[in-house]
Chain A
């Protein structure tokens, strides 16, 4: 049963991917690849957290068609992303640009890693045992 389910969902996924690509056909494989990349990285402004490849909202379809047109005209990735940002703002692209407002998004993970390393290092250091005290303890044991 489980296997059947997996098979079913795999089939559905493959089918839906094929359906989108059937609507927007390229002769150039590189453009096809760029189109796939862009529709997965551009965000549907009408939906809550969905890219335009996955969404069937009217505006997502319009954006997909626009991406198709622009890519067919030979526009590169930055040009298409800029075209969309100009109309829908930073929201439309899943990779936030590095600005003072988004700085924390980029810096926080690095900061936490550094903080973790510091804590780890200091803990190690404090665990080292004072050799004098060790000698004293050994002596005590031997005396018994």
Chain B
């Protein structure tokens, strides 16, 4: 009897360890930020990057389900997703951009605003413009409030201004169909 246990116990331990390690092999080690979900958008006052005189706050998102897309012209993956986002916009999905500038160091400055504006115009005329407006997160502090780790990232904001999804990485056909569209539809139908 004792001998059987001496055999079975290590076997169970071995199998458990194997299953644990094997599942680790196929898990995604990248960070998924879920703390932002189901939380109201942090309050903000941000200017339109193209027309800095125009200021916006959270009320921009009230009344319709909106995608908030964090991007910059320096970001290669963002350039890849621009045509797809433009398709979504043509289907009538409202998209607001949060412009995330890499080279503006709050301590040292960097590019001038006209320079940034001309880069944006150039990029959008080349690859498509999915954005209603682009909010300018000059020192990236609003991005930090949103838990943004880089660009591109996309949020779904519901009609009440509550974050319903935080997606890290690009939006393409597959991600849209499997992950984003179901959540989007759910909150549109609400």
Which residues of A come within 8 Å of B, CB atoms?
23, 45-46, 48, 57-59, 62-63, 65-66, 85-89, 91
Contact = CB atoms under 8 A, between A and B. Distances in A.
Interface of B is mostly: loop
B35 A48 contact: no
Question: What is the size category of the interface that chain B forms with chain A?
Answer: 20 to 34
Interface stretch (B46-54, B60-68, B86-94, B144-152): B144-152
8 contacts: A23-B107, A45-B147, A46-B149, A87-B36, A87-B145, A87-B146, A89-B33, A91-B33
A71 to B, nearest CB: 16
B107 A65 contact: yes
A89 B30 CA distance: 14
Given A62-B144, A66-B144, A86 B150 contact: no
A23 B108 CA distance: 11
B164 interface: no
Which A-B residue pairs are the 3 nearest by beta carbons?
A89-B35, A45-B149, A46-B149
B147 A87 contact: yes
Interface in B22-74: 29-31, 33-36
Interface string B130-158: 00000000001101111111100000000
Nearest to B35: A89
